Amino acid sequence: MKRFNTLCIGIAAWSVASIQTAFAETEAHDAVHAVEHAVEDMAVHAEEAVEAAAHAVAEAAHHGGGHGHEGSSAGLPQLDASTFPSQLFWLCVAFAILYFIFSKKSLPEISGVLENRQNHIQSDLETAEKLKSDAEAAHDTYEKGLQSARDEAAKTLNDVQEKIKAKAEKQADTFRQKTEKEILALEEKLFAAKENALDDMNTIAAEIASEAAKKIVGINPDIEQAKTVVKALNGNTKAKAA
């Protein structure tokens, strides 16, 4: 544990040291002091840490931060020009491989899939459109058929109604004529019967009158004469009633 602690403190010291080398002097100093204070407050091994930090700072100042390759002035590995050819070479290799694979395989593949899907959707939409127009046409035909059937039905109904009406009228006409004729005949008959009855009544009246005259007065009047008298009297009452 003790060794681990020292290692960790060493690690911290290294980071502190490298901050100092990497950044401008005053700012880095402030950072170092801040870290030192924080460590001091919280740690039992504060003095050790400060010592280690101071030691590391001194060491870092000597080393200049260079670790792997030599020849970097600021201690930044990025400025080590000896690694440039290798990085450039491998970057070119990586870029060339990626470009080749992407432009020859991956990208056409993806665009092919996307296009295929687009076409599929397009054709599906077209089919849907066609089906819709088909359905609409069918609906139209149905509507038209329904309309014509309705028209025909109405026409037939009308025809039948008219036919029935005409027939009924005709029958009513014949019936009326027939009945009128019958009524006329009956009326004539009735009139004749009435005339007859009236005549009979006159005869009866004349007979009664002559009989009465024979019995009351003792004369035997001519029956024909009595009839004329009754008729005349009847004519008088008729005129009066009128």
Which residues bind to another protein, rule: CB under 8 A?
4-19, 22, 35, 38-39, 42-46, 49, 65, 67-69, 75-80, 82-91, 93-95, 97-99, 101-103, 105-107, 109-114, 116-117, 120
**CA dihedral angle for residue 201, residue 204, residue 208, residue 211, rounded to 10 degrees:** 160
Say if residues 223 and 204 touch (Cβ distance below 8 Å). Answer: no
From the CB of 150, what's the least distance to another protein, in Å?
Answer: 48
Nearer to another protein, 91 or 135 (CB): 91
Computed on alpha carbons and rounded to an integer, the radius of gyration of the chain in Å comes to 72
Helix pair 2-22, 25-42: axis angle to 10 deg: 160
Tokens of 29: 């100093």
Nearer to another protein, 46 or 205 (CB): 46
Nearer to another protein, 70 or 216 (CB): 70
Nearer to another protein, 72 or 210 (CB): 72
From the CB of 157, what's the least distance to another protein, in Å?
Answer: 58
Task: Compute the distance between CA of residue 110 and CA of residue 95 in angstroms, rounded to an integer.
Answer: 20
From the CB of 62, what's the least distance to another protein, in Å?
Answer: 14
From the CB of 73, what's the least distance to another protein, in Å?
Answer: 14
Question: CB count, 10 Å around CB of 76?
Answer: 12
Nearer to another protein, 37 or 155 (CB): 37
Of the candidates 22, 13, 122, the residue with the CA atom closest to the CA atom of residue 73: 22
Nearer to another protein, 52 or 226 (CB): 52
Residues 35-44 as b/e (b if ≥16 CB within 10 A, e otherwise) read bbeebeeeee
Task: Compute the distance between CA of residue 197 and CA of residue 189 in angstroms, rounded to an integer.
Answer: 12
Say if residues 20 and 57 touch (Cβ distance below 8 Å). Answer: yes
From the CB of 129, what's the least distance to another protein, in Å?
Answer: 20
